[in-house]
Amino acid sequence: MSEGVAAAHDVLLVGGGAAGLRAAIAIAESNPSLSVAVVSKVYPMRSHTVSAEGGAAGAFAEDDTLDEHAYDTVSGSDWLCDQDAVEAFVQEAPRELLQLEHWGCPWSRQPDGHIAVRAFGGMKNMRTWFAADKTGFHMLHTLFQTSLKYADLTRYDEWFVSRLLVDDGRVHGVVAIELRTGRIEAITAKSVVLCNGGSGKVFPYTTNAAICTGDGMALAYRAGAPLKDMEFVQYHPTGLPFTGILITEAARAEGGWLLNKDGYRYLQDYDLGTPEPTPVLRSMELGPRDRLSQAFVQEVEKGRTVESPYGPIVHLDLRHLGAKLIDIKLPMVRELCLKYERIDPVKDLIPVRPVVHYMMGGVHTDINGATPIEGLFAAGETACVTINGANRLGSNSLPECLVFGARAGRAAAEYAASAQRPPPVVMQQVEDEIRRIDQMRRPERGSERIADIREEMQSTMEDSAGIFRSGESLSKGSDRLAELQQRLERVQLHDETQVFNTELVTALELANMLDIAETILQSALQREESRGAHQRTDFTTRDDTRFLDHALAYRDADGAVRIERSPVTITRWPPGERVYGR
């Protein structure tokens, strides 16, 4: 092993959430002779999968079919998903969820011991498996604890990956900082799978954890891989104001109502159906997230929302559900409300507003997670396969991590079995990277503060690329981001210690986010239509003749974003009208 290389592996998984751990176990089971490692900037059980609440969809109940799950997903995506990927997804999701059941996931049960399923937004049948309302937490810990069974699996916990080693269109590993020591080293591998989550922190109000800074997307983008469909940013209709903490869609699936300031179930005014006392599938509060978030903005414009210290809000009403149901099915909702809002949903209304929740876009991959860079794969929120198109349905992302995590893991293992050891030239890149990071830590670079730039970036994104955007707002946002990119060069770091230098990490994350932010704006600017989560006030309708295609954002040599377009795969469901509640 050469100098500056911490270790050499066959497959390296970047990220230890649901997708990364599922991939790791898939490889450990299918190719036990391969050397597999997981590198993550946090301990795996801290990954953001842990925050997912509502559930994981898989057509498993007797009265459900794969085709119905596929159709719900396709129409939910406003026909921008790739239908071959959706077909593979719906077929493999139930098996993956069963596999997790066998690994010990505490899925909620029916009285006879079979798996229980619940309703979810945009889904025509009950097909969402759940572990109370801590589904992501239980899935992540089940995967993590199961992964401990494989003693040969190497883990690099709390290592921050700052660069991919790519030569001649092929990946050869990563450069990473070991936070514990501050060492910067290469971890080489024949194939690399990026599974390090989304980038919700580009926006100010988000359900996403502090770690969701788009690292995987930025790594791939800088290495030359395109980011796909970045203009599609999902707002979850029910986040707590200020903290952005998620109140799960399951709260509405169990019968919760959204009320405006007059106590009126306003969704009935937005072509989402008529109010019934009990939940109706694909209707009202169980409509898709994009439509619900857009309805909120229109309520604000009509002056029918409630003013709060953190801007306009509406209310989520669970009071009629009763303490017993809330404690069994939604214990975390009650816990979060009591702790963070000091209200009890059993007797109080919950203040909510739409908050950024999920990136439909991500690293462009095929159905096996392969990116255009040889040996580089991606899965989970980092990737864009895409089953989500213009709007993801709630409870599709957890099974997506499992299905495509496993697929990418197996494909990466297969690739690694035939690939060569890295060429010596990549070691030059390691030295370049060490120099780049040293450069960032140089004294007297300027007087800019990381937090100032980050906050401005976030408000820029909210103003220019929020639930509704226009050509004008997007262009203005892009100009401001260009300024922020320049200010980033003048950021002054104050922490000179090697050990656990979180200031350095924050600076690297900010650089990642600024790159991601720009791809979002440019992709949105070029999509002159309204589709799913991308709503343009200057182009208000869907335009299938011009835009039934994906946007691929490449990074040009000068750092500018270049958009190319690629066709959507349609197998069985030609584009049609999205109908909810009628």
Partner 1 sequence: MSAPTTYRQPVSRLWWLKKRTYFLFVMRELSSVFVAWFAVFLMIMVVAIGRGEASYQSFLSWAASPIVVVVNIVALAFLVLHTVTWFALTPQAMVVRGPGGRWVPRIKEVSVAGRRVPAATVVRVGGRVPAGMVIASQYAGLIVVSAFVVWLVLR
Partner 2 sequence: MADSIQMNVTRYDPDQDSAPTVARYEVPLRKDWAILDGLNYIKDHVDGSLSYRWSCRMGICGSCGMNIDGEPKLTCAAFLSDYAPGPIRVEPLSNFPVARDLVVDIGDFMEKLPRVKPWIVRDDVTVIDGEYLQTPEELEEYKQFSNCINCMLCYAACPIYGLEPDFIGPAAIALAERYDLDSRDRGQRERLDILIEKEGVWGCTFVGECTKVCPKHVDPAGAIQRYKLKAAQENVMAFLLPRGTR
Determine if 444 is a binding residue for partner 2 (CB under 8 A): no
Stretch that binds partner 2, among 118-126, 375-383, 445-453, 524-532 (CB under 8 A): 445-453
Contacted by 209, from partner 1, partner 2, none: CB < 5 to 8 Å by type? partner 2
Stretch that binds partner 1, among 178-186, 433-441, 451-459, 504-512 (CB under 8 A): 178-186
Site for partner 2 in 305-334 (CB under 8 A): 332
Q: Alpha-carbon distance 330 to 54, whole Å? A: 9
Helix ranges (H only) for 441-501 are 450-465, 471-488
Contacts of 271 (CB under 8 A, 6+ apart): 580, 581, 582
Stretch that binds partner 1, among 31-39, 176-184, 299-307, 518-526 (CB under 8 A): 176-184
Determine if 435 is a binding residue for partner 1 (CB under 8 A): no
Stretch that binds partner 2, among 238-246, 284-292, 350-358, 528-536 (CB under 8 A): 238-246
Contacted by 151, from partner 1, partner 2, none: CB < 5 to 8 Å by type? partner 2
Min CB(183)–partner 1 separation in Å: 7
- Choose, from 9, 48, 170, 236, the residue flagged as catalytic: 236
- What's the start-to-end Cα distance of the chain, in Å? 64
Determine if 459 is a binding residue for partner 2 (CB under 8 A): no
In contact, 379 and 366? CB cutoff 8 Å: no
Stretch that binds partner 1, among 26-34, 135-143, 175-183, 266-274 (CB under 8 A): 175-183
In contact, 218 and 515? CB cutoff 8 Å: yes
- Can you tell me which of 114, 149, 180, 320 binds partner 1, judged by CB under 8 A? 180
Determine if 398 is a binding residue for partner 2 (CB under 8 A): no
Tokens 């159709």 belong to which residue? 71
Determine if 499 is a binding residue for partner 1 (CB under 8 A): yes
Determine if 565 is a binding residue for partner 1 (CB under 8 A): no
Q: Show the site string, 178-207: x = touches partner 2 by CB under 8 A, - = not.
A: --x---------------------------
Site for partner 1 in 251-280 (CB under 8 A): none
Instruction: For Cα atoms 277, 301, 252, give the angle at the middle one, nearest 5 degrees.
Output: 25
Contacted by 183, from partner 2, partner 1, none: CB < 5 to 8 Å by type? partner 1
Give the phi and the psi of residue 239 in degrees, each rounded to 5.
Answer: -110, 155
Min CB(8)–partner 2 separation in Å: 23
Cβ burial, residue 546 (10 Å; 0-12/13-18/19+): exposed
Cβ proximity to partner 1: between 179 and 318 the closer is 179
Displacement of CA 131 from its chain's centroid (Å):
20
Determine if 500 is a binding residue for partner 2 (CB under 8 A): yes
Determine if 336 is a binding residue for partner 2 (CB under 8 A): yes
Q: Show the site string, 132-171: x = touches partner 1 by CB under 8 A, - = not.
A: ----------------------------------------
- Can you tell me which of 2, 30, 145, 181 binds partner 1, judged by CB under 8 A? 181
Give the number of other Cβ atoms within 10 Å of residue 300's Cβ: 17
Beta strands 159-167 and 170-178: pairing type? antiparallel
Helix ranges (H only) for 33-163 are 66-76, 83-102, 135-147
Give the phi and the psi of residue 549 in degrees, each rounded to 5.
Answer: -155, 165
555 among known catalytic residues = no
In contact, 524 and 474? CB cutoff 8 Å: yes
Which runs of E-coded beta strand occur in 115-239?
Answer: 117-118, 128-129, 154-157, 159-167, 170-178, 184-194, 227-228, 233-239
Determine if 1 is a binding residue for partner 2 (CB under 8 A): no
Displacement of CA 98 from its chain's centroid (Å):
23
At 399, which amino acid appears?
P
Contacted by 211, from partner 1, partner 2, none: CB < 5 to 8 Å by type? partner 2
9 among known catalytic residues = no
Secondary structure class of 477 (helix, strand, coil): helix
Q: Alpha-carbon distance 450 to 459, whole Å? A: 15
Among 210, 235, 307, 218, residue whose Cα is nearest residue 465: 235
SS (H, E, C) 256-297: CEEECCCCCCHHHHHCCCCCCCCCCCCCHHHCCHHHHHHHHH
Min CB(103)–partner 1 separation in Å: 18
Contacted by 439, from partner 1, partner 2, none: CB < 5 to 8 Å by type? none
Determine if 443 is a binding residue for partner 2 (CB under 8 A): no
Q: Show the site string, 127-166: x = touches partner 2 by CB under 8 A, - = not.
A: -------x--xx--x---xx-xx-x-----x---------
Secondary structure class of 307 (helix, strand, coil): strand
Number of residues in contact with partner 2, rule: CB under 8 A? Answer: 63
Q: Which two three-digit tokens encode residue 374? A: 């040889």
Among 286, 520, 259, residue whose Cα is nearest residue 394: 286
- Choose, from 172, 252, 454, 534, the residue flagged as catalytic: 252
Q: Alpha-carbon distance 573 to 579, whole Å? A: 14
Cβ proximity to partner 1: between 500 and 554 the closer is 500
Cβ proximity to partner 2: between 331 and 423 the closer is 331
Beta strands 350-359 and 535-536: pairing type? unpaired
Interacting residue ranges for partner 1, rule: CB under 8 A:
180-181, 183, 499
Active site members: 236, 252
Interacting residue ranges for partner 2, rule: CB under 8 A:
42-43, 45-48, 50-51, 95, 98-99, 101-104, 106-115, 134, 137-138, 141, 145-146, 148-149, 151, 157, 180, 209-211, 242-243, 245-246, 332, 335-336, 339-340, 449-451, 493-503, 506
